[in-house]
Structure 1
Amino acid sequence: MTAALRPWSRPIRFADPDLRSLRPRILAALKTGLIRQPTGGHHYLVIGASTLMAAGPRPGNGDTIPLLILDGPSPVDAKRVPASFVAMPVPLPQTADCLGPEEVARWLVQSAKERPAGTDTDFAGLWRTRDMNCAASGEQVPGEASSNSLERLLTGHPDMSSMDPFWGAVHRQCETQALDQTRLVNHILSKHTLWFSPYNGEPILPADAAAIFAIMHEHWQENDQPAHCFGAQYWNHPSIRATFSGRGGSVQFHETEAETLAAASASRGRVLSWAGRTSRELEAECSKTGTPLLRIEDGFLRSVGLGAGLARGAMLAVDDLGIYYDPSRPSRLEVLLRDRDLLPDERKRGEYLVDRLQRARVSKYNFGKSRTYDFPTGRKKILVPGQVADDAAIRKSRSATIDCANTPNVNLDLLRLARERHPDAFLVFKPHPDVETGLRKGKVARETALGFVDAVAEDANIIDLIEAVDAVETFSSLSGYEALLRGKSVAVHGAPFYAGWGLCEDLTPLEGRGRRRSLAELVYLSLVVYARTIDPVTLLPCTPEFLISRLTEQRNDRKHLLVTAAKRHASWLGRKLGL
C-alpha cells in the first residue's frame, strides 16, 4: 500500500463487522479515486443495511461520514460478471441526528436531480433493451439477495411490492420528488456503485463494467444450444468449453463422429468439429439431419506457447461454411471480407486494434527468444517463414507455383522459389516453431536451407524478424498477416485468408476475391467478427483488445514461461514415446 493511502486506511472504521471483508476493495476504490477521500479531518464509518434499517441515532460523531454499503446489481463475489456493491458516502447535515432509509433515500434522490442529465452510463437502457440480468449472463444470484430489489429498479420491473425497505423508500422518493426512476438508477450505478473486473478483481469504471456485462450476456445467450465436440486435442478442451458453453449447457466431448452426431441430434444441439478433422461424411450427415455444424480452429492470437506444446488457445476461429485456411470453398471469413460493409465505428476499432498489435508486438504464439538482428545493409532483406509440411493449410490450399497437395516439403519448395525470384536479396529462413521443436513435420536441415538463404533464424521471435526485414515471402503463413500489420510488403504463393484483397503481391489468382480492403477492415473482420476470444487465465469471454494485454502480461511472466516450456518438453517426449 502506498504512503499516500495509509492516512486513510486507519480512519476507515466499520460499524457493521460483517462488512470488514470489503476493506481491501474499499481501500482500492479510495486509492483509484472511485471513492472520494474525505477531507477536513473527516473519516468514513462503514455501515450496512442493518444499521440503516434500525433508523436510530446517527452513527459516529461530527467528524464521521457514514459510508453506506449495500448489495449491488451483481454479487460481491461474482465470478463471471463484474462484481459490485453500492458504496455511498452520505453527507447528512451536521444537525441531522437520525439516519434511516427515508433520510438517505431523500438525499440520494435529491443529489440525482442535481446531477446534469446525460453524465451517467446508461445502465438502464442497456439492461432493458437487451433484457439483461445476472442470471441471463451466466451469473447466479441468491433469491433472497437485496440486489434483486436494485435489479428490479434497473430492469423497470412493474412489481415493487416485494422490494426491501431501503429501495422501497427510494422508489417512493422518486415519485415524491418527480424524478424519473431510470435517471436515478443510472446515477446510483455510475456514481455510487463500485465495480470490479472479473478478469483480475481490480476496480473498473462504470462504462467498462457495462461493456463487460454486455459481453458476458451476449456470450451466454448466443450459446443457447447444447454443444457436442469432436476432434479437438485434450489441451484445447478447457478453451472450447469456455467458448461454447452457455444457456444451452456445457460442451460435451466425444470420441467419434458418429457418437458426436447422435448426441447432438438427440439433444437438438450443434456439432463442433476441429476443422482439420472434419470429414465430408460428417458434413453430409449434419446437412441431412439439419444439425448445425461449426468448424473450429486456432485463431490468430492464440497463446504464449505452442499448441503442439500443450498451451491452450485463447482465440478460436469459428466457421459455419468452411475454414479460413481452406480456399477450396468459401469460408465465413472470405464471405465477410467480400460482402460486409463496415460502419465508421467499426473501422475506427480496426485501426485501434492495428495500433495495439503494433505497440504490444504480440503474435499468434509469442514464441522464441527476443533479440535484435543486424542484417547487412545494401541488400533487400526478405524473411521466408517455414510452415508445417502436412498441415491442412498447406494440403488444402491453392498455388500457381507449388504443388501443395503432393510436395514432400513445402518449405524446401518455398526456399527454392524465393531465391529464384530474388537472386540478389538477403534471405532469412525461419523454421516453424512446431517443426523446429520436433513436434510437427517439415524440417529442412540447416545446411540444406543455407544452400538457398543467407541466414537461418532458429528459436527466433517472429516479430523481431519481421521488424528487421523489408519484406516477407510466404506460402500461406500467418506471418504474412503479421507482416502486413507492421507495414511490410508481402508476397504470397498460396491462398491465405489475407490474400486477394489488394494488400499483398498475390502470385496465385484467387477467384471470388478481389474487393479492396484496408488493413483495419481485415483486422476488424478477422479478430472481432470471425473469431471468438477468451481470457486464457480466467477462461471468460473477452475482447481482442483485452487478450492483447493478457498475452503481453504472460509473455513477461517468468513463471508462465517456465510452465509452458515444461509442457512443450513433455509434449515432445510424449510424441517420441508414441504417447
Structure 2
Amino acid sequence: MKIGIATSGLWQLRDAVELLSGATPFKLAGRKRTPDLYAGWGHKPTAAKVRLAARTRGKPYIAFEDGFLRSVLPGETELPIGMIMDRTGIYYDSSQPSDLEACINRRSCFGSSSDVSRTIELLRTSRLSKYNHTVIDSLAGLGLRSADRRDRVLVIDQTAGDASILGAGAGSDTFDRILRTAVVENPEAEFLLRVHPETMLGRKAGNFSAERLENIAGQDVALGRCHSENRLRLTPEPINPWELLEGCAKVYCVSSQLGFEALLAGCEVHCFGMPFYGGWGITRDRMVPAPSRRGPATLEAVFAGAYIDYSHYVDHSSKSLLHIDEAIEFLSQKRNSLRVIAGQGEDV
C-alpha cells in the first residue's frame, strides 16, 4: 500500500508516516501513479490540493499534525516526538467529526483510571507542554501585584490566522472580545496576556501587540482603567506555561492547547471558540455551541483520549513508537540537556 505525500515538511517525516499508517510513502510531485492513500498537514490550506486529489480519485485522506507534546524547540529545527494521525477529520476543526472525538467518547464509557491520573500528574510535575524551550521557571521576577492566584486572570493569545481559530468557529476579532469580557467580569483582577511561543521568537505574528492593547484601552473604559492602573501586561518572557497557569485562577482563550493545560492546572477555563477540549462539560463555553457529537466527559477521559489514544510518540532514531510516559521522560531529558548547553553560552 502506497501513501502519497505532497509537502516537503511531511516528507521529512516519511519514516514516521510509514510507522503510523502502515503504508509506504512516495512523493506525489511528478508521479502519475495514484496512491492508495493521501497524506497532508491537517486541514491547513497547504493540504487543500492533496485533499481535493483524494476526493477526486475516491481515495482516503489521512491528516497528520504535530502532537500536543511536540518537542523542546518550536519550528522546523527539531522533529516532533509527538504526532497525530486522523483518518476522519482533525482535532482543531469542530465543524466535523474527528478520530479524537471518537477516542474521547470511548474513554468516557470506561470511567476514571489510576494510570491516567498518574500520567497527568507526571506531565504536570515534568512541566511539559507542546514546546519546551522556556527558561524561566518562576513568576517571582515579574513584579506581580499579589501572591494569590485568585487575584489573577490569564488571557491566551494565538498566532494570527492559525487554522485552529477558524476551526473553532472564531476569528481575529474574537481576541478583542475575550479581553474585554475578561476585564468586565473581573474588574479588580490583574491580567496576564500570554504571548504565543512562536510570536516570542519573531516567527509568527500574534493577535495582540503592545500597540493594539494601547488602541483597545483607548476605546474601552474598563480596559482603559485596567491599563492605566498597570493591571494588564503582555508576557513575552520565556516563562514555563505551567507557572502561568498555576499562578492564575481563571483563563480566557479561544482554542489554544494552553487552555486544556489550564484545566489540568485547576483553572476555570472560559472558551470563546470550540477547541478539542470544549463541549465536554469541563469548560465554560461562551460563544460556540458544542457539537451534538460531544459529551459529557471527565477531564481524565478527555486527556486520555487526546494524549494517549489519539496521539502517537515516535523515536525517530530507532523508528519505533514510545509510550507517553517514555515520551515525557525523553522530552524532559532533552530539555535539561539543552539547558546545560545554554549555560555554556550556546543559544537554546
- Provide the rounded CA distance (Å) in 1 between the counterparts of 2:120 and 2:196: 24
Question: Alignment partner of 2:80: what SS?
Answer: coil
Per the alignment, do residues 492 and 240 of structure 1 end up closer, same or farther by CA in structure 2, a change over 3 Å counting?
farther
Partner Cα separation in structure 2 for residue 445 and residue 302 of structure 1 = 26
CA deviation vs aligned residue, 1:164-188 (integer Å, no higher than 9, x gap): xxxxxxxxxxxxxxxxxxxxxxxxx
Residues 68, 82 of structure 2: 8 Å contact kept: yes
Which amino acid letter does the alignment assign opposite residue 157 of structure 2? G
- Offset at 1:277? 3.3
User: Is 1:226–2:2 an aligned residue pair?
Assistant: yes
TM value normalised by structure 2: 0.82
Distance 1:538 1:304, change over 3 A: farther
Q: Does 1:301 align with 2:74?
A: no
Given residue 226 of structure 1, which amino acid in structure 2 is its aligned partner?
A: K
SS of structure 1 residue aligned to 2:191: strand
Equivalent residues in 2 for 1:146-185 (5 A)?
A: none
State the SS of the aligned residue for 1:363: coil
CA gap 1:349/1:289 in 2 versus in 1, 3 angstroms: farther
Q: Within 1, Cα distance between the matches of 2:21 and 2:339?
A: 35
Residues 490, 252 of structure 1: alpha-carbon distance in 2 compared, 3 angstrom cutoff: same
Task: Tell me the CA shift for residue 271 of structure 1.
Answer: 1.2
Question: Residues of 1 paired with 2:200 and 2:338: CA distance?
Answer: 22
> Which residue number corresponds to residue 89 of structure 2?
322
Q: What do residues 266-309 of structure 1 show as CA deviations (whole Å, max 9, x unaligned)?
A: xx5311111113656643542453322101111100000112x5
Are positions 1:311 and 2:78 aligned together?
A: yes
Residues 246 and 438 (structure 1 numbering): CA distance in 2 closer, same or farther, change over 3 Å? closer
C-alpha displacement of 1:531: 1.6
Task: Give the aligned residue type for 1:290.
Answer: G
Deviates more, 1:480-489 or 1:240-249: 240-249
Tell me how far apart the structure 1 counterparts of residues 265 and 290 of structure 2 sit (CA, whole Å). Answer: 24
* 1:195-214 matches, cutoff 5 A: none
Question: What is the match of residue 543 of structure 1?
Answer: 323
SS in 2 for 1:534: strand
Helix, strand or coil: the match of 2:165?
helix
> Does structure 2 conserve the Cα–Cα contact (< 8 Å) formed by 1:502 and 1:515?
yes
- The count of corresponding residues between Structure 1 and Structure 2 is 325
* One-letter amino acid of the counterpart of residue 208, structure 2: V
* CA shift for structure 1 position 504: 0.7
Is residue 302 of structure 2 the alignment partner of residue 522 of structure 1?
A: yes
Tell me if 1:376 matches 2:145. Answer: yes
CA contact (8 A) 2:104 2:304 kept: no
Whichever of the two has the greater Rg, that structure is 1
CA contact (8 A) 1:337 1:517 kept: yes
SS in 2 for 1:305: coil
Question: Percent identity of the aligned residues?
Answer: 25
Partners of 1:229 and 1:566 lie apart in 2 by: 35
Query: Partners of 2:315 and 2:190 in 1: how far apart?
Result: 39
Name whichever of 485-494 and 454-463 sits farther off: 454-463
Secondary structure of the 1:251 match is strand
Q: CA deviation at 1:547?
A: 0.4
Q: Do structure 1's residue 493 and structure 2's residue 267 form an aligned pair?
A: no
Q: Given the alignment of the two structures, is residue 531 of structure 1 paired with residue 301 of structure 2, yes or no?
A: no
1:420 aligns to 2:198 (yes or no):
no
- Show the counterpart of 2:116: 350
Quick one: distance in 2 between partners of 1:303 and 1:441? 21
Task: Please tell me whether the aligned partners of residues 436 and 443 of structure 1 are also in contact (alpha carbons under 8 angstroms).
Answer: no
Secondary structure in structure 2 of the residue aligned to 1:304: coil
Cα distance between partner residues in 2 of 1:522 and 1:316: 17
DSSP 3-state at the match of 1:553: helix
Which residue of structure 2 aligns with residue 242 of structure 1?
A: 16
Structure 2 counterpart of 1:271, which letter?
A: Y
Instruction: Describe the superposition over 1:237-284 as per-residue Cα deviations: whole angstroms up to 9, x where unpaired.
Output: 4444224248966433445xxx57x54x2xx53111111136566435
Letter in 2 for 1:393: S
Do 1:273 and 1:296's aligned partners in 2 also have CA atoms closer than 8 Å? yes
Query: Which stretches in structure 2 are left out of the alignment for 5+ residues?
Result: 218-222, 224-230
2:193 counterpart residue number: 429
8 A Cα contact 2:72 2:335, kept in partner: yes
SS in 2 for 1:541: strand
Confirm or deny: 8 A CA contact 1:311 1:567 kept in the other structure. no
Question: Is the Cα–Cα contact under 8 Å of residues 480 and 490 in structure 1 kept in the other structure?
Answer: yes
Q: Structure 2 residue aligned with 1:467, among 246, 267, 283?
A: 246
CA change 1:457–1:322 in 2 (3 A) is same
Alignment partner of 1:478 out of 257, 266, 279: 257
Is contact 2:169-2:273 (8 Å) kept? yes
Q: CA deviation at 1:427?
A: 0.7
Aligned pairs (5 A) from 1:247-326:
250-255=24-29, 262-263=32-33, 265=34, 268-275=35-42, 276-277=44-45, 282-307=50-75, 310-326=77-93
Q: Map Cα deviations across residues 396-416 of structure 1 (whole Å, 9 max, x no partner).
A: 3214xxxx1xx3x65444333
CA RMSD in angstroms comes to: 3.0
Determine the C-alpha separation between the residues in 1 that align with 2:339 and 2:197.
Answer: 21
Q: Which has the higher contact order (CA 8 A, sep 6+)?
A: 2
Distance 2:266 2:182 in 1: 20
The separation in 1 between residues aligned to 2:277 and 2:285, in whole angstroms, is 10
- Residue of structure 1 equivalent to 2:159: 388
State whether structure 2 residue 221 is matched by structure 1 residue 441: no
Q: What are the Cα deviations for residues 418-446 of structure 1, in whole angstroms up to 9, with x where unaligned?
A: 22332222110111111122111225332
Relative distance call for 1:282 and 1:422 in structure 2 (3 A) is same
In 2 relative to 1, CA 460–240 (structure 1 residues): closer, same or farther, beyond 3 Å? farther
Q: CA deviation at 1:560?
A: 8.1
1:252 maps to amino acid: F
Q: Deviations over 1:80-130 (max 9, x none)?
A: xxxxxxxxxxxxxxxxxxxxxxxxxxxxxxxxxxxxxxxxxxxxxxxxxxx
Question: Structure 2 vs 1, CA of residues 226 and 560 (structure 1 numbering), >3 Å: closer, same or farther?
Answer: farther
| Counterparts of 1:250 and 1:301, CA distance in 2 | 25
Match of 1:85 in 2: none
Q: Deviations over 1:296-341 (max 9, x none)?
A: 111100000112x532211112111211011121222123323555
Q: Mark the CA change 1:502 to 1:386 in structure 2 (over 3 Å): closer, same or farther.
A: same
CA distance in 1, matches of 2:120, 2:90: 23
- Return 429-438 or 532-541, whichever deviates more: 532-541
Deviations along 1:515-534, whole A, 9 cap, x unmatched? 22112211111122212211
SS at match of 1:556: helix
Structure 1 gap segments, 5+ residues each:
1-224, 569-579
| Native 8 Å contact 2:158 2:207 kept in 1 | no
Match of 2:226 in 1: none
